A and B are shown apart, each in its own frame.
Chain A
Amino acid sequence: MANAAPQLIGTSGDSLREAFGKALAAAAQEKTNVVVLDADIAGGTGVHHFRKAHPDRFFQFGIAEQNMMAAAGGMAATGLVPVVTTFAVFCLRAVEQARLSIAYTKRNVKIVASHPGLDVGPDGGSAQSLEDMAAFRAIPGMTVISPADPTEMALATRAVLDFKGPVYMRTGRSPSENVYGPDHRFEIGKGHVLRDGSDVTLIACGVEVARARDAAILLEAEGISARVVNMATIKPIDVALVARCARETGAIVTAEDHNIYGGLGSAVAEALAQTHPCPVEFVGVNDVFGESGEPQELAEHFRLTAPFIAAAARRAMARKRA
Chain B
Amino acid sequence: MALAATKFASTPEAFSPALIARIAERARDTRAVAIAGIFHAGSGHPGGSLSCADILATLYAAELNIDAANPMDAARDRFILSKGHAAPALYGIWAAMGLMKQSEAVRLRKLGSRAQGHPHVLDMPLAETSTGSLGQGFSVAIGMALGLRLQKNAARVYALLGDGEIQEGEVWEGAMCAAHHRLSNLCTIIDYNKLQSDDRNANIMGLEPLADKWRAFGWHVQEIDGHDITALLAALKTAADCGDQPSVIIAHTIKGKGVSYMEDVPQWHGSVKLTRAQADDAFAALGLPATTLDAMLEGAMEVRHG
| A residues adjacent to B (C-beta < 8 A) | 1-9, 38, 40-44, 60-64, 66-67, 89-90, 93, 121-127, 291-294, 297-298, 301
Contact = CB atoms under 8 A, between A and B. Distances in A.
A36 to B, nearest CB: 13
A42 B118 CA distance: 21
30 contacts: A1-B261, A2-B275, A2-B281, A4-B261, A5-B267, A6-B265, A6-B267, A6-B273, A8-B267, A9-B42, A38-B198, A40-B164, A40-B196, A40-B198, A40-B204, A40-B205, A41-B197, A42-B198, A62-B164, A63-B135, A63-B168, A64-B205, A122-B41, A122-B42, A122-B44, A122-B109, A122-B110, A122-B271, A123-B132, A294-B111
Contacts of B155: none
Nearest to A293: B111
A89 B118 CA distance: 14
A304 to B, nearest CB: 14
What 10 pairs across the A-B complex have the smallest Cβ distances? A62-B205, A2-B277, A293-B111, A126-B132, A124-B117, A122-B109, A62-B167, A6-B272, A123-B117, A3-B261
Nearest to A120: B117
Given A67-B169, A89-B133, A126 B273 contact: no
Interface of B: 41-44, 84, 108-113, 116-118, 120, 130-135, 164-165, 167-169, 196-199, 203-205, 261, 265, 267-268, 271-275, 277-278, 280-282
A124 B261 contact: no
Contacts of A4: 261
B95 to A, nearest CB: 17
Nearest to B284: A3
Contact of B275 (A7, A62, A124): A7
Contacts of A89: 133
A126 B84 contact: yes
A67 B110 CA distance: 34
A126 B273 CA distance: 21
A126 B111 contact: no
Given A3-B278, A8-B272, A127 B118 contact: yes
A129 B126 CA distance: 25
A177 B265 CA distance: 33
Given A2-B281, A63-B167, A124 B267 contact: no
B196 A9 contact: no
B100 to A, nearest CB: 16
Given A41-B197, A63-B168, A297-B111, A3 B281 contact: yes
B120 A124 contact: yes
